[in-house]
Structure 1
Amino acid sequence: MTGSGHISAFSARRAALFALLSGAFLACLALLVSPPPVPEMKSSAIPPPLRADRQVEPSFVHHFGRKHDEATWFKSDFYYPNSGHPAWQADLIHFKKNRVELEVRRRKVAYKNIAGAEYQRRGFYHYGRYEVVMRAAPGSGTVSAMFTHTHGQFGDPHDEIDIEFLGKDLTKMHANYFTNGREHGGIYIPLGFDASKEVHLYAFEWEPGAIRWYVDDRLVHTATPADMAIPQAPGRLMVHLWSGTRDQFNWHGEPTFRNGARARFYCLSYQAAGDDTEQCSDSYTPRKYRR
């Protein structure tokens, strides 16, 4: 082989080595600048209905305490991709002597920057009276809530009825409802107190033609079909605490809450329409839950 042949062979080997190294470098660079793939939410993480035919559950009253009952309650431990909600994490649900405390933290979970807590009653619930004894979480950016809900995520229409407390102004209760994906919009009800500093009883009554919201058994707002169609689909019943993405800041406030802020829930009850069963209000007194 001539000298020029040696040079050509060397150049070819050098070019091949350069291409190999360049490819490896570019692959490593891509890993550094590209976000990791987002894992899909496992379908098994979504609580199944207690009955496959979505038959509504009977009336109940539940006084929260030290124990978690897996048969009737579900700890959310997942996140919905492409949602403004945080990652729900079961370790942020804390059981105390006479209550359950839900916590919200600045915690990185996949691409989510906030972790919150959601506690669901298994099964489906329909017309009747819903009561909760609670104390909202303090701090701008928090959302403390009790609500009924179903959604396309579960293969159902999006119907929802809310009692919420927004951290930017805890002297108001935010009432809202959705019917088949359509939102009524915010209803802000003055309380006369800070919902993060006192324990109170909140309720709504759901009928085919009306929703009525109460604070300490005082009627504070009524919605009728003249406002917007009333939800009709049975839904899940849950309490949760969360903070959203930038798109929600104007609604719930800039997230300046203390890391680890908590909402306290003492009692939750559902009295089906036509029943006369025990409710949270039967044993509630303002003094009962003071420190």
Structure 2
Amino acid sequence: MAHALPLSLATQPLKQIAIDYTPEACSHCATSDTITLTYDSRGGARWRSPTRFQSGTFSALIRCPGGDTSGLNFNLYLSSLEGDKSQDEIDFEFLGYDRTLVQTNLYSGGEGNREKIHLLGFDASEEFHEYAIAWGSDAIEWRVDGKVVRREERKEGEGFPRKAMFLYASIWDASGINEGKWCGKYCGADEPYVCVYKDIRVPVVTADE
């Protein structure tokens, strides 16, 4: 029996962000509801929502950087706290070696290893597409342009994200992960690499500490 998701929960534009590092490589225009992340000789950058959320639907229109993006990871994800080894997390991750696919994953109490690869049917750098995470108490859906590409239901004895989470996005060099087998090896021939997010939407109700 399928569990219902809180699809009726209201969403609102994300008007404010916090920048975790390299603020000069992240620009935010609240008027146009657009955020850009740049990867170049300065490294990458990461932004997040100022508050945590307990559940709901999160979405953004994303246009990934073009050119030879091998080695880079760009993403949209929820995490209880980036860098915490016991984090809960729900991910959309673009693997720079191939922009025609996206990886989804989830963590509970720092335990992950639930990755799945999804073929998009398009190059994610050519135009904007909508990526959404619908997170409920009993199920999670990952959606691309309104289509559900993955659904995970809470199962007895299996970890499920429960902690209040921030919405994050970043661009970074992941060449060192699994000896370059995850995202490829970075070459940087087409710097700067710019990932653009717009129409970012988050739930109205927050559950910040």
TM-score of the aligned structures, taking structure 1 as reference length? 0.59
C-alpha displacement at 1:186, in angstroms?
A: 1.9
1:268 to 200, 203, 206: 200
In 1: Cα distance, 2:77 partner to 2:49 partner:
11
Report the Cα distance in structure 1 between the residues aligned to 2:62 and 2:73, rounded to whole angstroms. 13
Cα separation, 2, equivalents of 1:151 and 1:120:
10
- 1:151-178 per-position Cα deviation (integer Å, ceiling 9, x unaligned): 4856x83111111111111111111111
Match of 2:151 among 222, 232, 251: 222
Equivalent residue for 1:92? 25
Instruction: Give 1:184 deviation, angstroms.
Output: 3.3
| Aligned residue number for residue 6 of structure 2 | none
Higher helix share: 1
Secondary structure of the 2:104 match is strand
Q: Where does structure 2 lack aligned partners over 5 or more consecutive residues?
A: 1-9
Aligned partner letter, 1:75: I
Q: 1:153 to 1:167 in 2, by over 3 A?
A: closer
Q: Which residue of 2 is the match for residue 211 of structure 1? A: 140
Q: Which has the higher contact order (CA 8 A, sep 6+)?
A: 2
Give 3-state SS (helix, strand or coil) of 1:125's partner: coil
Aligned partner of 2:183 among 243, 252, 263? 252
Cα displacement string for residues 164-220 of structure 1 (whole angstroms, at most 9, x for unaligned residues): 111111111111111001003321111110001121011111112211111111111
SS at match of 1:252: coil
Q: CA deviation at 1:116?
A: 0.6
**Aligned match for 2:71, one of 141, 144, 148:** 141
Secondary structure at the aligned position of 2:181 is classed as: helix
Rg larger for: 1
Deviation per CA, 1:20-49: give whole Å up to 9, x if none.
Answer: xxxxxxxxxxxxxxxxxxxxxxxxxxxxxx
Q: 2:151 is paired with a residue of what secondary structure? A: strand
Instruction: Give the deviation of 1:256 after TM superposition.
Output: 2.3
- For the aligned residue pairs, the C-alpha RMSD in angstroms reads 2.4
Q: 1:190 aligns with which of 119, 137, 143?
A: 119
The alignment covers a number of residue pairs equal to: 189
- Identity among equivalent pairs (%): 22
Give the Å deviation of 1:133: 0.7
Which of 234, 238, 249 in structure 1 is aligned with 2:164?
Answer: 234
Alignment of 1:44-59 (within 5 A): 59=11
Could you say which residue in structure 2 is the equivalent of 1:103?
38
Question: Is the 2:18–2:50 contact (alpha carbons within 8 Å) kept by the matching residues of 1?
Answer: yes
* Aligned equivalents of 1:126, 1:233: Cα separation in 2: 7
SS in 2 for 1:91: helix
- 1:176–1:272: structure 2 CA closer, same or farther, 3 Å change rule? farther
Q: What's the CA shift for 1:118?
A: 0.8
Q: Does 1:166 align with 2:95?
A: yes
Normalising by structure 2, report the TM-score: 0.81
Among 26, 41, 44, the alignment partner of 1:116 is 44
Which residue identity lines up with residue 256 of structure 1 in the other structure? C
Deviation, 1:60, is 2.4
